[in-house]
A and B are shown apart, each in its own frame.
Chain A
Amino acid sequence: MNVIETLGLTKTYGGGPFGSRVDALRGVSIDVDAGEAFGLLGPNGAGKTTLVKLLLGLAHPSGGSAMLLGEPAGSPAPRLHVGYMPERREYPDFLTAVQVLELFGRLLGMDQRARSQRINIVLEEVEMSNWRDHPVGGFSKGMQQRLALAQALLPDPQVLFLDEPTEGIDPLGRVSIRGILRRNLEKGKTLFINSHMLGEVELLCDRVAILVKGQVRREGPLSSLQASNPEYRLVLAASDDAARAALAVAGDELEALAAPLGRSAWRLSVSDRSELNAALDRVRQSGIEIEEVQRVRASLEDVFVQTISDALSEDSRAGLPGGGRLDREGIAEAPALGSEPVPAAVKSEMEP
């Protein structure tokens, strides 16, 4: 069953007589199943937060439709069963952790007993029980992040929207938050993670969509996206020149890697296994020994960079502003995407 469903969702900001028009979303159609961990990826300005805001009724769509838990996304009713952890939040600094949760519990319509029970449970879950009566103003960023997670978990939600859930958190904190999210997944909750922390998404999500300039450019199970362009690492007992001649593969499908003296190592990109076998046959026919063949699974970062590069190339061919080329290392080659400072920022924002 789909808990989130959008069809041709569009959102345009501005466009009046005095403002410039920004198409934040351009026909986004996605479905998220119950119990799934879905990752929404994209560079800054891609429209990720706008999509979440439309689903939660924080912004109004310009076109298309969005359903949340089977009801129109803008209506308050489905939000009774949704937890939201925004990237930017500002709790009143004079409230204690318990008072913050009390306020949100009452807004959710929980009675006193249920509130009290849930507050204890979620504070325990995010390991903040010892800080329950401390004012939020004195909390570190990590503690505020945990409180936000506790607040999102308060309604015992069916769907959790998490906007950059581990941003600014130290590695131990990330592991802990990831553990909390995994436990909620095991309980059957649906996670909708909006992030550019690719490593985190890779570790948590079953399925991802990559949003570029308001459009979904790629979507699917993580495993299939990563397997879409198989790559292999070859180590051959030959010099670079001899090995390159034997492989006889086009330059952009072959990349030389560092190798010990007398050996040569390569990263070979092929469309399928028969192409790999053909290349290996040519190596054998040349009398070169094959020392190692290893399948290299593309990282999510590779998929992400490739997707944005493809999107920029398409735009470039179509003569759209912001078109350009993005390669694995030379991200800065891409020109700016109109008003959205996307490509130059992409690399720096990706998790190392």
Chain B
Amino acid sequence: MTSATISTLGSPSASGHRLTAQQLGALVGYTVREARNKWTLVALFVLTTLFLAGLATVISVDVVEGTIASARLFGTIPLQIGGNQISIADAVTVIQVGIVSLLSTFGLVLSLFVTGNIIPRTLNTGWVDLLASQPVARATLVLGRTLGALTVITLALAYLFGGSWLLLTWKTGFGNAGFLLAGLVVLFTFACCYAGMVLVGILTGSSPVSIIAGIGIWFLGLILYPLHTFSEWTTAFRAGWPRSLASGITETLYWALPKTLELTDRAAQATRLEPISLAPLWASLPFPLICMALACWWFARQDY
């Protein structure tokens, strides 16, 4: 059969990488549309808007002859400029570190919850058949849905980080670029946990199990760092193989899973404009890459 005979009106025209790119775009667009139609994302948007509205009222600034004469937190706590009291820059940084801490914990868990059913929904009987019967590689389906979820969370974070950065810059005149960098670190932390969720979602097809896995990965990252740093805790075990086993399990998990606590710390450091070590980012990177490769491989060999 020649391509001439199959080239009729409306026949597929794209090929190779262009086709894959178009398919990824279609899946990302569909995922964003799907998220937009769910109450969870609407709730996230409303919460963010309320937060930004609250933030707008936290700092009140008095401007005299074009310069900031005084500023107050919550309308009462004075921020004296040039005196011994906290400076505008420090106050803004403290607020931004607070936002980063909030987002690295509560915000991240909420994001995992919002996106938890994206992959399991793809596997629904009657929908996965339709998608997988298209001229789409199975890996493209997984990657497209994952990129869609990341796009949703990127938009949500951009709204929150961008909104609060603009508000604080406008109110105080202090634009902290480190805060925006922290947003990228939070997004990276989410991506690491989400990759684990994708793998579990593909393996089980279950939204609750997938969400538990994502939150579990994040939580383990929080508790493994202290266990890795303060190895004295292993003395609680009998010397010999019990202690070696406990230490071995902890170290294996520490190095295998994303370093969520250290990533949170790096985000706060970035906000404070301190020099940051990228080691936790590099050390966390293999986890999402391996999870995605395993998810694509497993999905490709399944019968639907």
Contact = CB atoms under 8 A, between A and B. Distances in A.
Contacts of A94: 33-34, 37
Given A107-B26, A111-B13, A156-B11, A58 B126 contact: no
B304 A53 contact: yes
Nearest to B11: A156
B4 interface: no
Interface in A113-131: 114-115, 117-118, 121
Contacts, number: 121
Contacts of A287: none
Contacts of A154: 10
Given A13-B303, A95-B33, A76 B136 contact: yes
Given A53-B303, A60-B301, A109 B126 contact: no
Contact of B137 (A69, A76, A99): A76
Interface string B29-56: 1100110010000000000000000000
Given A86-B126, A89-B126, A106-B25, A155 B11 contact: yes
A75 to B, nearest CB: 9
Interface string A1-45: 100000000000100000000000000000000000000000000
B70 interface: no
A79 interface: yes
Contacts of A117: 9-10
B133 A84 contact: yes
A79 B135 CA distance: 5
Interface in B263-304: 301, 303-304
A329 interface: no
A77 B127 CA distance: 20
A115 B25 CA distance: 15
A168 to B, nearest CB: 14
A103 interface: yes
A273 B132 CA distance: 52
A115 B9 CA distance: 10
Given A76-B136, A79-B134, A88-B125, A110 B12 contact: yes
B6 interface: yes
Given A94-B33, A109-B23, A156-B11, A86 B129 contact: yes
A77 B23 CA distance: 14
A60 B303 contact: yes
B67 interface: no
Interface residues of A, number: 45
A107 B1 contact: no
A58 B136 contact: no
Contacts of A121: 10
B9 A90 contact: no
A230 interface: no
Given A109-B14, A111-B13, A155-B11, A57 B33 contact: no
A220 interface: no
Interface string B127-143: 10111111111000000
B124 interface: yes
B304 A59 contact: yes
A107 B130 CA distance: 11
Contacts of A182: none
Given A53-B129, A104-B130, A155-B12, 17 more contacts: A57-B133, A59-B303, A79-B133, A89-B126, A90-B125, A90-B127, A106-B22, A107-B26, A109-B23, A109-B135, A114-B11, A114-B13, A115-B10, A151-B130, A156-B9, A156-B11, A158-B1
Interface of A: 1, 13, 53, 56-60, 69-70, 76-82, 84, 86, 88-92, 94-95, 99, 103-104, 106-111, 114-115, 117-118, 121, 151, 154-156, 158
Q: Which 7 A-B pairs have the closest CB atoms?
A: A109-B14, A90-B126, A106-B26, A118-B10, A59-B303, A94-B37, A79-B135
